[in-house]
Amino acid sequence: MEEKKSTNTKPRIWIAGLICAVFMTVFCGLIYPLVMTGAAQLTMPYQANGSLIYVEEEDGSVVCYGSELIGQEFTQPQYLIGRPNTGSAAASNLSAVSEDQAALVQERIDWWHELDPENTADIPMDLVTASGSGLDPHISPAAAEYQVPRIARERGMSEDEVRAVIAKHTDGKDFGFMGEDRVNVLMVNLELDGKKIIS
Amino acid sequence: MSSGVIQDIVYVIALIGIGIPLGIYIYKVMTGKLTWKPIAALERFTYKVMRINPEEEQTAGRYALSALTFSLFGFGILFALNMLQGYLPFNPEGIEGTSAHLAYNTTASFVSNTNWQAYSGESALSYLTQMAGLTVQNIVSPAVGCAVLFALIRGFQRRESRTIGNFWVDLVKATYYVMIPLSIIVTLLLVSQGVIQNLSAYVHATTLESGAEQIIPMGPAASQVAIKQLGTNGGGFFGVNSAMPLENPTPFSNFVECLSLLLIPAALCFSFGRAVKDSKQGRAIFIVMLVIFLLALIGMTMSENVAAPQFDGVAQSGSMEGKEARLGVDTSALWATATTSASNGSVNSMHDSYTPLAGGIQMFLMMLGEVVFGGVGCGLYGMLAFAILTVFIAGLMVGRTPEYLGKKIQAFDMKMVCLVILTPPLCLLLGTALSTFVPTITDDFTNTGAHAYSELLYAYTSGAGNNGSAFAGFNANTVYSNMGIGTVMLLVRFIPMVAVIFLGGNLAKKKLIPASSGTLSTSNAMFIILLLLIVFVVGALTFLPALALGPIAEFFKTLPTLG
């Protein structure tokens, strides 16, 4: 008699397994993420929606210039330029020590020298290596400093003016020890272009 | 002291500092000593819907059957979502169903707590599949691991008992008390840093320089990224995982994610100590894991800094290929060590582009059987299998019947331990070897020479460790690789899991032997060193030949005298 009441028979286990899988799909797959979406949208809408940059143009129109967190491709000399693959290609996935990688790095070194033949300083490593995401919004402060004379010359600004803009968009290590110091390339360029950010 | 070293030290302190109280909390929750009224009500409701009696205990056979049926139905739902997403809601981009072989691979990957990514989230999966499919398995597959661990622990706790707990109760408690609350905290921390959480269509923006259209992917990312880290899952919301700034925007979000990925596996060591009423036992296991972790971390960081390739006209620096500027070399190396120790597999930098020895360390950590912290539950039950193997070998050396925690270790127990320890290497080596015979496999490599072989070896290592990270230059989305790696992931998840449940069941039946002066201590320095050696020797004997052909060969090629 005891065995009959059991919820532990093989058929009951199959039924429980099915119900449990469906129940967890609803609870963990709909309720949990939707509640979190609601909470995030209510309390931190700017971050939850991708840290988008809206700019009011001179004619009064509003343009979305992408996200603070997503790098864009820059190639012209008057702009601060980011990692080599930004906005154009995913990670190379090449072995760090391969000949293919060495050849690519040499191409990038040549590109930088062609862009600014006057600059004979050593190029910072992050300017000749591809990022993992292909969307890296940052470069190191050294990589920004490397480009200061060129940007100042192209824009007719003083080097210190350019440095001041860069400094404004430079973040130190979080809490002084996490990660690296970094410069947000897009934010620097928006300011250099005099764009008015409204959110 | 460099900031990278300070970050490493703070990381380990935080891991221990949060791990100990969390471990005690998990122990209390899983043994029913701690309940909270609202969650208890939800628990009772769940059991009622499932029509089960939570008081009724299960034998090993019924416990295993429950775990397998639940995983099977979860498999069915996720497979269907992948195939049918084109017809279902929460799909603003109108993404079509995936191919059947990709759906099989993705489903196997998430049900087995691997999260190998042959798919790319933003282009292949709808928001519904991400939420109701992937997020669900991200939460319940570690809960299953945690449940099975406690079934094994009950094997040590009980004497002359036929049962080892109730799978449904263990699953529900692990989900409601551990996974969901921790996920909520981490989700909110991540959103505050800029990880997205919305249901909007992708944003069409304008680039500043060229005025070209830029498509920015959207979605409910934070809620999934949180549990992807906490549950040792690792499957990214986006294709490039936590390298993607919208998934991991700041060094602080990176620290939170990196800590989350080792937190529960580390905490479970302390739960174990509490549960067997001897916290020294848990501490011994934790020390073994920590020692291997620290050795790997030092090796990885050194290789990335010292052995990085240097170029004429470029400032001296560590290896930055495939790494993000906000994270840099040291932070990326810490993550790479943590993610391959735990069977997490999320990445914040491209492992394929690591220096040869660093890539070799990543593989070796996975090859050790994912027992250096490892997956939630399964990492610790894997390490406990090694502990039993250690007392067995020590017992053979002195000619005594081996015992662990007062339980005699006999033939049946050792058979189960062998299944746990030998299944992954067997699948790994056979899978890699068979794949080298597939004529088209060479089309799937990005790299050449020894590193191409490393890409293949890494793929099967990751699958057989239920890890999920990749040398991403390897194109795994082919019929052959989807089926091959998918099957490996399922075998290495479920064969050891069932073996552990039956091991627990068999241990529970035994009497308790009181410790005597002849009993081998399993919590002193001697045992810690023995266990370390056994883990290393088993790993090294099995895998050194395979590693020699890949990362080690590539390393020697970089030495100037030989190259």
Which residues in chain B have their CB less than 8 angstroms from residue A100's CB? Answer: 447-448
Whether residues A94 and B352 touch (CB distance < 8 A) is answered with yes
Interface A–B counts its CB contacts (< 8 A) at 357
State the average pLDDT over residues A67-73.
Answer: 96
Whether residues A21 and B70 touch (CB distance < 8 A) is answered with yes
Whether residues B321 and A176 touch (CB distance < 8 A) is answered with no
- Alpha carbon distance B223, B52 (integer Å): 30
The three state secondary structure string of B411-453 is HHHHHHHHHHHHHHHHHHHHHHHHHCCCHHHHHHCCCCCHHHH
Instruction: Answer yes or no: is B9 within a domain.
Output: no
Distance of CA B203 to the CA centre of its chain: 33
A61 vs B: CB within 8 A: no
Position A21 scores a pLDDT of 97
Q: Residue B270 belongs to what domain range?
A: 27-274+283-308+330-558
Instruction: Answer yes or no: is B386 within a domain.
Output: yes
Angle at CA B159, nearest 5°, toward B153 and B160?
A: 125
- Alpha carbon distance B400, B414 (integer Å): 15
Residue B86 has what DSSP assignment? G
Residue A3 pLDDT > 90: no
Position B381 scores a pLDDT of 96
Instruction: Describe the strand order of the beta sheet including A196-197 as a list of residue ranges.
Output: A62-67, A52-56, A196-197
Whether residues A68 and B194 touch (CB distance < 8 A) is answered with yes
Q: At what angle do helices B479-509 and B60-84 cross, to 10 degrees?
A: 160
Residue of B324, B456, B474 to mutate for A, most A C-beta atoms under 10 A: B324
Q: How far is B340 from chain A (nearest CA, A)?
A: 18
Position B539 scores a pLDDT of 93
Which of A98, A180, A189 shows the shortest C-beta gap to B327?
A180
Position A1 scores a pLDDT of 40
State the average pLDDT over residues A31-50.
Answer: 97
Compute how many other C-beta atoms are within 10 angstroms of the C-beta atom of residue B182: 19
Which of B200, B252, B324 shows the shortest C-beta gap to A133?
B324
Compute how many other C-beta atoms are within 10 angstroms of the C-beta atom of residue B33: 9
Instruction: Answer yes or no: is B411 within a domain.
Output: yes
Q: How far is B146 from chain A (nearest CA, A)?
A: 16
Which residues in chain A have their CB less than 8 angstroms from residue B51's CB? Answer: 7, 12, 15-16, 19
Summarize pLDDT for B122-140 with one digit per residue, the tens: 889 999 999 999 999 999 9
Q: A123 phi and psi, to 5 degrees?
A: -80, 135
**Number of domains into which chain B is organized:** 1
Whether residues A70 and B214 touch (CB distance < 8 A) is answered with yes
Cβ contacts of B201 within 8 Å, gap of 6 or more: B92, B93, B218
Position B122 scores a pLDDT of 85
- Alpha carbon distance B257, B239 (integer Å): 17
Which of A52, A130, A186 shows the shortest C-beta gap to B208?
A186
Residues paired with A197 in a beta bridge: A55
Residue A199 pLDDT > 80: no
Whether residues A33 and B135 touch (CB distance < 8 A) is answered with yes
Cβ contacts of B430 within 8 Å, gap of 6 or more: none
Residue of B66, B172, B252, B353 to mutate for A, most A C-beta atoms under 10 A: B353
A21 vs B: CB within 8 A: yes
Token pair of B479 as six digits: 């019929």
Residue A198 pLDDT > 90: no
A47 vs B: CB within 8 A: yes
User: pLDDT of chain B along its 563 residues, tens only?
Assistant: 799 999 999 999 999 999 999 999 999 999 999 999 999 999 999 999 999 999 999 999 999 999 999 999 999 999 999 999 999 999 998 999 999 999 999 999 999 999 988 888 888 999 999 999 999 999 999 999 999 999 999 999 999 999 999 999 999 999 999 999 999 999 999 999 999 999 999 999 999 999 999 999 999 999 999 999 999 999 889 989 999 999 999 999 999 999 999 999 999 999 999 999 999 999 999 999 999 999 999 999 999 999 999 999 999 999 999 999 999 999 999 999 999 999 999 999 999 999 999 999 999 999 999 999 999 999 999 999 999 999 999 999 888 889 999 999 999 999 999 999 999 999 999 999 999 999 999 999 999 999 999 999 999 999 999 999 999 999 999 999 999 999 999 999 999 999 999 999 999 999 999 888 878 899 999 999 999 999 999 999 999 999 999 999 999 988 876 54
Position B561 scores a pLDDT of 62
Instruction: Answer yes or no: is B207 within a domain.
Output: yes
Instruction: Answer yes or no: is B317 within a domain.
Output: no
State the average pLDDT over residues A48-65.
Answer: 94
Instruction: Answer yes or no: is B255 within a domain.
Output: yes
Q: What SS3 state is found at B172? A: helix
- Alpha carbon distance B448, B437 (integer Å): 17
Which pTM was predicted? Answer: 0.95
Q: How many residues does chain A have?
A: 199
Average model confidence (pLDDT) for chain A? 94
Instruction: Answer yes or no: is B320 within a domain.
Output: no
> What ipTM was predicted for this assembly?
0.95
Instruction: Answer yes or no: is B488 within a domain.
Output: yes
Give the chain B residue nearest A15 (alpha carbons).
Answer: B50
Position B1 scores a pLDDT of 75
User: Residue B296: which of B247, B248, B262 has the closest Cα?
Assistant: B262
Q: How far is B297 from chain A (nearest CA, A)?
A: 16
